[in-house]
């Protein structure tokens, strides 16, 4: 979150200063687009969410109370829009246990042990593996995916993620851990063959 929220800027925004609003859009739209793109996995849907986010923000700015940063507030609008879009377009992939306490026995069963850290960077980041990584995110249930996108891809702090998601800190941490472990498991399976090849060299 880089924008300086001095009170003058906020006052200008809230009093309808177009230049201040343009600066806000300029400074934050890449992050908001990226967040929507990663939650939705679709460029057109992400653009719709992007536009809707700023349309809603424009209307709601006069009542913005400043309890979180403007950027966090924009993320909250965008995430809500994205989740609403997902709910409209398909059966949500929410697993019933997403808010349950972390069960280490359940999470560790069948865990793949493949040390893919040893692979060279160029093997880890081929365009094919990037595509696989994108698809792996899309396979996560929305509840886990959203937390992972906000925290690990957008670099929000735990507290900012709490503010965006409006869930408890414990829930954020549990969902983040589950998301990370599931993605690790996916990557371990994906890189297994490459690790074997590397070992046999």
Partner 1 sequence: MSKHVHTEKCSAMLGDLSEYIDGSLHAEICAQIEEHMKTCDNCRVVVNTLRKTVELYEHCSDDVELPGEVKERLFAKLELKDFLIKADTSK
Residue 40 CA to residue 13 CA, distance in Å, equals: 29
Choosing from 33, 74, 143, 145, the residue that interacts with partner 1 (CB under 8 A) is 33
Most distant CA pair in the chain, distance: 66
Nearer to partner 1 (CB atom), residue 24 or residue 83: 24
Nearer to partner 1 (CB atom), residue 5 or residue 152: 152
Question: Which two structure tokens, joined as six digits, stand for 201?
Answer: 């060299």
Residue 99 CA to residue 95 CA, distance in Å, equals: 9
Residue 85 to residues 46, 79, 91, Cα–Cα distance (Å): 10, 10, 11
Residue in the structure block whose two tokens are 């992050």: 31
Helical axes 70-89 vs 43-60, angle rounded to 10°: 130
Contact code string over 145-164 relative to partner 1, x by CB under 8 A: ---x---xxxx--x------
Question: Which two structure tokens, joined as six digits, stand for 104?
Answer: 């280490």
Gyration radius from the chain CA atoms: 19
Contact 150, 164 (CB under 8 A): yes
Stretch that binds partner 1, among 2-10, 70-78, 104-112, 162-170 (CB under 8 A): 104-112
Choosing from 12, 93, 94, 177, the residue that interacts with partner 1 (CB under 8 A) is 177
Answer yes or no whether residue 128 interacts with partner 1 by CB under 8 A: no
Contact code string over 58-77 relative to partner 1, x by CB under 8 A: x-------------------
Tell me the closest approach of the beta carbon of residue 87 to partner 1, in angstroms: 23
Q: How far is CA 106 from the centre of its chain?
A: 25
Answer yes or no whether residue 170 interacts with partner 1 by CB under 8 A: no
Rule CB under 8 A: which residues touch partner 1? 18-19, 21-23, 25-26, 29-30, 33-34, 37-38, 43, 47, 50-51, 54-55, 58, 102, 104-105, 107-108, 110-117, 124-125, 130, 133, 137, 148, 152-155, 158, 173, 176-177, 180-181, 183-184, 187-188, 192, 195-196
């Amino acid at each position: 979150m880089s924008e300086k929220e001095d009170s003058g800027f906020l006052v200008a925004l809230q009093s309808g200063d177009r230049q201040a609003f343009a600066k806000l859009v300029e400074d934050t739209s890449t992050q908001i687009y990226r967040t929507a793109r990663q939650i939705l996995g679709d460029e057109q849907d992400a653009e719709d969410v992007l536009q809707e986010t700023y349309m809603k923000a424009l209307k709601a700015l006069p009542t913005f109370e400043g309890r979180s940063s403007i950027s966090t507030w924009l993320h909250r609008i965008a995430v809500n829009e994205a989740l609403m879009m997902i709910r409209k377009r398909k059966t949500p992939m929410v697993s019933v246990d997403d808010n349950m306490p972390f069960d280490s026995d359940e999470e560790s069963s069948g865990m793949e042990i493949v040390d893919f850290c040893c692979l060279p960077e160029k093997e880890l980041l081929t365009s094919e593996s990037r595509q696989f990584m994108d698809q792996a995110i899309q396979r996560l249930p929305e509840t886990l995916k959203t937390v992972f996108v906000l925290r690990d891809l957008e670099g929000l702090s735990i507290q900012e993620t709490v503010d965006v998601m409006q869930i408890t800190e414990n829930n954020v941490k549990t969902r983040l851990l589950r998301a990370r472990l599931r993605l690790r498991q996916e990557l371990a399976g994906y890189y297994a063959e490459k690790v074997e090849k590397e070992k046999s060299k």
